[in-house]
Amino acid sequence: MKRNFSTLLILVVSLAFTSCKDDDDDPNVVQVKINNVVPEQYLQIVRGLGMETYTGDTPPDISGTYLMSPNLLLRSNIPNDAPSNSPFVNYTINFTNQNSSNFSISFTGSASGEQDSSNSAVIAGSGNDFSVYGKSTTVVGSNSVVLGVIYSGTMEGGKIKNLKRAIIVLDDSKGGPNLLKNENARVFQDGDRSS
């Protein structure tokens, strides 16, 4: 009887420890967080336009301010949009509040008075490669659209190499006739490949 009780006690204790596993230890938790911000169908669109997306759970620290100059349009799916390699206004991005235990990060990006920002973005990646996935609302007058905003690159010597930025419309229900429509997307790249 004593042996059965000891075996039962060991079984109960081991079950208690395994059932208390932290969700952030699950390798799928990063992908779930990413898809809660930018669903997979939208990620597939920007990947098709040349945007790399990284998903690992050990991203590098990217805290800091970076400049995309020249800020070039890589590709777009917007009818009659500017051609590839067209220059746009220089773009500054500031990453703050990176938390590696829950994969959260904040960003503020700006160019010529326009701004993308998110206090609830997700960072993923491994080694020196990273992607940041966020949502931002663009307002023009009384109209607005919700954008998925994705940044990807490689940290190298305190700089981001091959920085790219993608925007894609996630919700145009308040967009009116003049703003971008659902699934309209652009991918930009830092023309000198070093930010």
Q: Residue 6 pLDDT > 80, yes or no? A: no
Write out pLDDT tens, residues 119-133.
999 999 999 999 999
Write out pLDDT tens, residues 46-102.
999 999 999 999 999 999 999 999 999 999 999 999 999 999 999 999 999 999 899
**Which SS3 state, helix, strand or coil, does residue 104 take?**
strand
Model-level pTM?
A: 0.85
Residues facing 124 on adjacent strands: 131
Report residue 25's pLDDT band, with 50, 70 and 90 as the boundaries.
low
- The count of C-alpha atoms lying within 13 angstroms of the C-alpha of 128, restricted to the half-sphere facing its C-beta, is 11
Distance CA 70, CA 139 (A): 25
